[in-house]
Chains A and B, each alone.
Chain A
Amino acid sequence: MKHLRAVNQKARRIQEHIENDVVAMQGPQGPAAQRPHVPMGCSIVFSPGWEVDSSGGTAGLCQPVERDLYDCYISCYWPAQVPDHMNNYPDWTAKCAAATKDWRNIDLVFP
């Protein structure tokens, strides 16, 4: 609204009230939907396996969930739900390249 200028008190109040002037339909409308509170990310959620999706459910997870297994520490550096590949158990998946197919070959780890 840079082409319009508030000239009286009411107009100036409206201008102060509206931070974003005109927003096209593509923009987010209304208040953001409430999202589930997942404390500390996926680290302490053990149902159904080790994480939930952003809506608190499981429909948004990789299917089967094993597809997502290795990404827990490749992109998250988050060793809580899987053995600590970085420091203590570097070989726990040495016999399992494709987790979906070979998950039975994953080593048991006893911390």
Chain B
Amino acid sequence: MDLATPAIDVRDLRKSYGEIEAVRGVTFDVAAGEVFGFLGPNGAGKTTTINMLCTLAKPTGGTARVAGHDVVSERDNVRRNIGLVFQDPTLDGYLTAEQNLRMHAELYGVESRLVPARMKQVLEMVGLWDRRKTQVLTFSGGMRRRLEIARGFLHSPRVLFLDEPTIGLDPQTRSSIWRYIRALQQTEEITIFMTTHYMDEAEFCDRIAIMDKGVIVVLDTPDALKAQVGADRVTIHTADDDAAVAALADRFKLEAKIAEGSVTFYVPSGEEFVPRLFAELGIQIKAVSVSRPTLDDVFMAHTGSTIRDAENSDGKDRNRMVMQAMSGGRR
């Protein structure tokens, strides 16, 4: 596959489960060597899209090509060329790290004489070479995720899919996982397609698609997206939020939203606006903060809610999280 062929090429891809349209026609392509991020709240259709690209779910409409192969008619060719790191763990805890990787190499038919060197390389890259003889049961969450990432790379895939690679990990482990992913990606020169609902992680991507309710609302580089928002974000805590929203609309012609228990709006040069706000709003302000635009703001600007609010309104997904927490406890 040469660099001119997109690593992933998706045209009007759709997936419905009965009445529910999980993915409602998405179109995008990912260049070879790119790190492409899919962002959005839980339940936005990210995992369904990734499952279709990985041949785990059959699209109900549209086409998708991965590494130059159609995900429906050339399923096995797609599978040979991709690596997967799922949201939920897929390691065998009773086997050692080495046995897990060996198993993977056998399943993918990697030539036996190449396996030891390759295994050593990927394990060293994620810092688990010393622990290779240890049963995976005893690994911490971060170590397991690193092992899964190493396994995803083991068979030298063209495209690596990472579905929420850092979900459920503490911030320190998250950033170390990211360093490993970038280091591996750099060495291996492969394309990475990932989903996340942590806005800060999207900064690691070359390009980002924001997905909400089954469609892509916007797609661009992180910097371009932030530039689109343009204005600074001002968040205020007031004695009466509804009145504050009305007053902002009335006196300053500003459209404000109530989210996560505070009032948020966007103005150019926020610091200079704050004194005017205190003088003219007429409602008691308890706290105020001004910040440069982040991807959270991009998400808010395009969907009208913060990512956490979007998730909390989604009952089905909350159940999923509860199930995950339960099964996590048993592990």
Is the A/B pair a real complex?
Answer: no
Chain A residues in the interface with B (C-beta under 8 A): none
